[in-house]
A and B are shown apart, each in its own frame.
Chain A
Amino acid sequence: MAHSDIGIKAGTDGALGYRYKLANQLSSFSLWTKKGHTVFAFRGVTVEQAEFGISGEAIAGVSWTGKYMEQKWAGSIVPISASGDTLTLPAHGTERYSIGMYVFVGVDTNNTHGYQITAIDHIANTLTISPDLGGAPSAWVAGTEIIPWWPTGGSETGEPVHGKMGMVTIGSENCVVVSARVTVVNNIKYYINEKNNQWTAERFGRPKVREIDGELELFFLKPGPSYFYRAEHQVSNAIVIPVGNVAGYIMELNIPYAEYRTPRISGDEEFIQNIPYIAVASADENDEMTITFK
């Protein structure tokens, strides 16, 4: 499934900035993470859930969770020899590597591209790599380690934003809240039960609807009882939850059709009202929420 087929490059609808809209089909990505001496890579990764936590006392954050098809890894070890397309490792050394991963052979980085592991022989303790190390003598120096490929350089862009800035609106009216949570659950299923000549699941889909819900936490003020009525009578409101108030540093969660669930009141000092809600779609579909960076 090509990325160009499934990411709907959706609309410019009067917004300055960059907007994410909901679509039926979802893309996958590859995730690489370097944990010290070992690099792990994951293919066929999807985002199952994102929980946005926005409060007046913390940096706004997202908890991401998801699934993937397969993990691979490449560690570090001093080889016995390295020449041509073969790296000979000490006993059990090959267990530190997976086919498809990339390594630097000592200081020989293959012009920073790394050498790809194309075969592993756990009996002979050898890794086959591509391309070849080149003519003898290779750049590998006896005693130096094979280490996992990893790019260097780059620069960090953007800045975190504190949850305190930005004003929530409910039905276009300002509403001071203590915190706001929004959770998107994609309900993705990996088809591990297919007989596909592979040990892994190679396809995923979404056989059920996505679920977007959240909760507003605010002090129990005089307008508070209204939310009991709205929950009971299925009143729909637009909820807009911005983070930040400086152009370029704003994320805005826009939920056009939020329906409330029964609020709760608690607290030993000030009474707090927690108002759960669900985001529903209009007849246009896929419009339960947008996320805009602007």
Chain B
Amino acid sequence: MSNCALNFAFANEEESLIIMEETCGDLEKPSIDERIYTVGPVGFTQEQEFLDDEQVRSTASRFSPIKGRKMPGDWNFNSYVKPSGVRDAIGDGSKPEHDVLFECLMGSGAAGTDGALGYRYKGGHGWRTRISV
């Protein structure tokens, strides 16, 4: 059986994985447990900077520019709001599928239990204060 479409990449077959980085900027290798489902494909672009060669050469010709920095990239995608189906008072069972995104959006996340002690962030210097909540 032949397959004429072997060289194509189809949007409906896209898969994505997402994993928190232990060290900022160090690429982490995820497992299948880090699978997320997007609505539509993941979009991305990272521009390469090129700088005009402004040396005067007694000509009207434009020469090949000089390679510059790799600028920060931009990504985007959509997702559904997708709760886990579990209302967990103790563990992480209530984490939604897109937990990593929510944590990176907000800064923190934690499971909740009634009447327990917890930590609340107290400003920009990284210290924590234990409070009754």
Measured CB to CB, the residues of A under 8 A from B are 1-3, 5-38, 40-47, 50, 52, 54, 59-72, 100, 102, 150-154, 156-161, 184, 186, 190, 192, 199-204, 243-244, 247-251, 284-286, 289, 291-294
Are B27's CB and A8's CB within 8 A?
no
CB contacts (< 8 Å) of A161 on chain B: these are: 80-83
Are A30's CB and B16's CB within 8 A?
no
CB contacts (< 8 Å) of B72 on chain A: these are: 67-69, 190, 192, 200-201
Which listed residue (B28, B69, B86) contacts A30, Cβ 8 A? B28
Are A17's CB and B118's CB within 8 A?
no
- Given known pairs A10-B120, A16-B114, the reply for A152 and B32 (CB within 8 Å) is yes
Interface residues on B, range: 35 or more
Name which of B11, B76, B120 has the most chain A CB atoms within 10 A of its CB: B120
Q: Shortest beta-carbon distance, A259 to chain B, in Å? A: 20
Closest 6 CB pairs of A and B: A36-B9, A23-B107, A11-B118, A154-B32, A160-B80, A18-B94
Besides the known contacts A24-B124, A154-B33, A248-B94, 17 further A-B residue pairs in the complex with CB atoms under 8 A apart: A9-B110, A11-B119, A18-B92, A26-B107, A38-B9, A47-B105, A65-B75, A66-B74, A66-B76, A69-B73, A70-B73, A71-B46, A153-B32, A156-B97, A157-B85, A158-B82, A161-B82
- Given known pairs A38-B9, A63-B76, A293-B84, the reply for A43 and B20 (CB within 8 Å) is no
Q: Shortest beta-carbon distance, A3 to chain B, in Å? A: 5
Q: How far is the CA of A248 from the CA of B89 in the complex (A)?
A: 11
Are B85's CB and A248's CB within 8 A?
yes
B121: CB under 8 A from chain A?
yes
| Complex interface bits, B1-25 against A, C-beta within 8 A gives 1, otherwise 0 | 0000001111101111111111111
Q: How far is the CA of A190 from the CA of B75 in the complex (A)?
A: 14
Are A32's CB and B17's CB within 8 A?
yes
Name which of A9, A20, A184, A291 has the most chain B CB atoms within 10 A of its CB: A20
Name which of A40, A47, A184 has the most chain B CB atoms within 10 A of its CB: A47
- Given known pairs A20-B102, A46-B104, the reply for A154 and B35 (CB within 8 Å) is yes
Are A15's CB and B112's CB within 8 A?
yes
Q: Which residue of chain A has its CB nearest to the CB of B28?
A: A30
Are B88's CB and A17's CB within 8 A?
yes
8 Å CB interface, B32-86 against A: 32-33, 35, 37, 39, 41-42, 44, 46, 69-86
Are A13's CB and B112's CB within 8 A?
yes
- Given known pairs A41-B27, A71-B46, A158-B83, the reply for A50 and B101 (CB within 8 Å) is yes
- Given known pairs A65-B74, A293-B94, the reply for A248 and B25 (CB within 8 Å) is no
7 interchain pairs (CB within 8 A)?
Answer: A8-B119, A10-B119, A23-B107, A27-B104, A28-B24, A68-B75, A156-B37
